[in-house]
Structure 1
Amino acid sequence: MKTVLASVLLAATTFGQPAPARADHDERHMTVVKSPTCGCCEAWVAIARKYGFEVETRDTDDLDTAKRLAGVPEPLRSCHTAEIGGYVVEGHVPMEAIEKLLSERPKIRGISVPGMPMGSPGMGDDPNARFDVHAFGTADGSQPVFYEAGR
């Protein structure tokens, strides 16, 4: 019970506010909530660090609660959830998509690579792998393609 409660409180403080409302964001620091046993999550974190992001990881056994509190729609969920610059980044999102997000600062909640596509960062790192990064938390509730990897 303590683990679940701690996870809920952690997720609430990590994912507490939507991106446009945050003024205190640090665009080079990200917090990643993940399973303590997930190797592909660690591989993605290593790539983020290579790109110059300062990454803090928080392990939990209750990822569903963290994702729900972060506002990640069920169809867009993956294996780890990050917060950076007031945005949520779900799954094996390429660093280029994160840089685009931070540069453009759209009025969305976050971006996601649903599932775990082979070749995505942390899942084989194939620069030619083709997959879409979706936006979520849009004003109209849509989940448009935000970035096209491998194109």
Structure 2
Amino acid sequence: MNRSFRAISSSVLLAVPALASAAMPVIEVFKSESCGCCEAWTKHLKEHGFTVKINNVANPSDYRQKFGIPTAMGSCHTAKVAGYAIEGHVPASEIKRLVASGVKARGLAVPAMPLGSPGMEAGRSDPYDVFLVQPDGRPTVYKHYSGKS
């Protein structure tokens, strides 16, 4: 291998991780300071390449309302990424898929706190749905997780 090809190859390989992390948007999380499952969810996001900005707030539901997520879709924390609202324990893979799609929507929601969802890992995994909240506020199933007992 000649010297200039090696130098170019090395430069490209070194740049790839930097480009990948630069392309990942920052996710801003609004949560209660004392919530352990919210902390576990933010750890999940970081492990999947997100830069996370955490805001400990007195009432996270204020942000759900501000971002247009229906009360029925509520959970313990709300986030904002690339113009989308994220409510509850949404898997990082679904957030990435939404952001990459650019679909018109308010965001994603996992209502309540289902066991087995990111941040709610326990001895079992219950089935749960990730909902896409349409621009009109209507939720539709975006992805179903079957769980495992």
Instruction: Identify unmatched segments of 5+ residues in structure 1.
Output: 1-25
Distance across 1 between alignment mates of 2:100 and 2:122 = 23
Distance across 2 between alignment mates of 1:127 and 1:51 = 22
Query: Conserved in 1, the CA contact under 8 Å of 2:110 and 2:129?
Result: yes
Query: Conserved in 2, the CA contact under 8 Å of 1:30 and 1:55?
Result: yes
SS at match of 2:90: coil
2:59 counterpart of 1:62: yes
Give 1:146 shift: 1.0
The 4+ residue runs of structure 1 with deviation greater than 3 A are: 125-129
Which residue of 120, 140, 147 maps to 1:144? 140
User: Which residue does the alignment assign to 1:132?
Assistant: 129
Amino acid at match of 1:133: V
Q: Which has the higher contact order (CA 8 A, sep 6+)?
A: 1
Which residue of 73, 76, 87 maps to 2:73? 76
Query: Conserved in 2, the CA contact under 8 Å of 1:92 and 1:121?
Result: yes
Task: Render the CA deviation track for 1:2-35: whole Å, top value 9, x for unaligned.
Answer: xxxxxxxxxxxxxxxxxxxxxxxx7421000000
User: Which residue does the alignment assign to 2:99?
Assistant: 102
Amino acid at match of 2:142: F
SS at match of 2:79: strand
Instruction: Identify unmatched segments of 5+ residues in structure 2.
Output: 1-22
Give 1:127 shift: 9.8
SS at match of 1:67: helix
User: Which residue does the alignment assign to 1:18?
Assistant: none
User: Which residue does the alignment assign to 2:32?
Assistant: 35
Amino acid at match of 2:57: T
Distance across 1 between alignment mates of 2:93 and 2:146 = 11
TM-score by length of 2: 0.76
Distance across 2 between alignment mates of 1:59 and 1:102 = 24
Give 1:65 shift: 1.6
Amino acid at match of 1:147: K
Aligned length: 125
Amino acid at match of 1:39: G
